[in-house]
Amino acid sequence: MIDLKDVVIVTGLIAMVLGACSIIASALNRKRYKEICVLYKEKFGDLPPMVQIFDDVNTLYVDFAYSVKMQFIFRPLLWNKSSNMTKNDDRDFIRGLPQRLIGPFYVELYLAIVSLAFFIISGVLVFYIKHSSGYQ
């Protein structure tokens, strides 16, 4: 019989591994991010103001800066809406970029989402074990 504590350990480890993979993917996507920024500037003249502010901030230390920088890429890709940081209709531009540029951003985001799901599952199982009267 599989012990529930073992399931918590396995789901926690999977969550950590996928989270680490997401962080590695974000580091690898920096080059693509810069390339997208160059193409965006060529098309629209300049980056959105909030992206400019956080462009040179080390995103390893400032999570908010990373989410602001990446929002102008993720929002058009995931929700098919223009970035709310700009007045440009950049939805079609971002979605029309070559797959070699935008594909890795999907991978990064999906790794983070699956990692979060495993963390939540692990947390729910820990809560269940801790508060279950029948489980020893």
By percentage, how much of the chain surpasses pLDDT 90? 42
Look at 93 and 57; give whichever has higher pLDDT.
93
Contact 74, 105 (CB under 8 A): yes
Smallest CA-to-CA distance from 125 within 5, 38, 22 is with 5
- Tell me, yes or no, if the pTM score tops 0.85: no
Model confidence at 98, in pLDDT bands (50, 70, 90)?
A: very high
Task: Kindly report, residue by residue over 25-62, the tens digit of the pLDDT.
Answer: 988 988 998 999 899 999 988 888 888 877 776 655 56
Residue 77 has pLDDT above 90, yes or no: no
The end-to-end CA distance of the chain, in Å, is 14
